[in-house]
């Protein structure tokens, strides 16, 4: 067992996923498309809702997408658009696969780029969609930041220093400090600084030739 857990925090990631809707001042009907119900996504949902409850929005539909897949998302997004006569301001999608399905449904009714669509995982295809303007945001989990935090924490432990965190996590043994590594919210405005200048993706990959 470990003395400290260093990693991403689902609740924090949830708040980050929804944060861009707050920045955009989204109001109106919102659809939440979650990951697979079997994969413990409740904390992410709590995080998303903690942001949404401060906005002038109505959550009109919530669905879990089997296998976190685009297929499930297409159907749910089509249903929501049909039921609300295309009057949806945002789709809070829990990953980029779900976002891709949602955008497919939006394209069918000519609304791509006009409705906010979030994501997570920073897949290249998602970054390309953000560059094109059809996806609003994604989250990049920086593995370097994660390993750096892990190393810094390990050094502190080795020196017998106290690890100070606001949260603890329990994997069934004991409550241990949880060092939270923040994911980066990627939008059209920071693709270059966050992903291209740091060498995660090349300009060609994102923007084509």
Note the pLDDT tens digit of each residue in 151-195.
Answer: 888 888 888 888 777 767 676 667 777 777 778 999 999 999 999
Neighbours of 97 (CB within 10 A): 24
3-state secondary structure of 179: strand
Percent of the chain with pLDDT over 70: 92
Cα distances from 170 to residues 14, 39, 43, in angstroms, run 19, 17, 14
The H-assigned helical ranges of 113-188 are 124-132, 143-158
Q: What percent of the chain has pLDDT over 90?
A: 72
Name the more confident of 7 and 151.
Answer: 151
- Cα gap 175→165, rounded to integer Å: 12
pLDDT tens across 44-99, in order? 999 999 999 999 999 999 999 999 999 999 999 999 999 999 999 999 999 999 99
CA end-to-end span of the chain: 49
Query: How would residue 4 be classed by pLDDT, with cut points 50, 70 and 90?
Result: low
Contact call for residues 31 and 48 (beta carbons, < 8 A) = no
pLDDT of 2 strictly over 60: no
Q: How far apart are CA 185 and CA 191, in angstroms?
A: 10
138-140 and 57-64 strand pairing: unpaired
- 149 pLDDT tier (thresholds 50, 70, 90): confident
Length of the chain: 209
pLDDT surpassing 70 at residue 115: yes
């Amino acid at each position: 067992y470990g003395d400290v857990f260093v990693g991403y925090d689902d609740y924090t990631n949830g708040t980050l996923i929804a944060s861009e809707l707050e920045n955009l001042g989204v109001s109106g009907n919102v659809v939440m498309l979650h990951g697979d119900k079997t994969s413990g996504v409740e904390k992410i949902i709590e995080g998303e809702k903690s942001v949404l409850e401060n906005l002038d929005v109505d959550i009109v539909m919530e669905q879990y997408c089997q296998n976190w897949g685009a297929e499930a998302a297409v159907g749910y997004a089509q249903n929501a658009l049909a039921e609300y006569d295309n009057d949806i301001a945002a789709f809070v999608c829990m990953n980029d696969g779900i976002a891709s399905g949602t955008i497919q449904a939006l394209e069918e009714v000519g609304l791509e780029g006009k409705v906010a669509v979030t994501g997570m995982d920073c897949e290249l295809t998602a970054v390309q969609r953000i560059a094109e303007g059809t996806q609003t945001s994604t989250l990049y989990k920086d593995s370097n930041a994660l390993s750096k935090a892990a190393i810094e924490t390990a050094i502190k432990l080795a020196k017998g220093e106290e690890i100070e965190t606001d949260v603890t996590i329990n994997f069934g043994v004991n409550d241990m400090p949880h060092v939270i590594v923040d994911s980066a919210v990627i939008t059209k405005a920071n693709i270059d600084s966050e992903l291209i200048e740091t060498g995660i993706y090349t300009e060609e990959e994102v923007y084509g030739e």
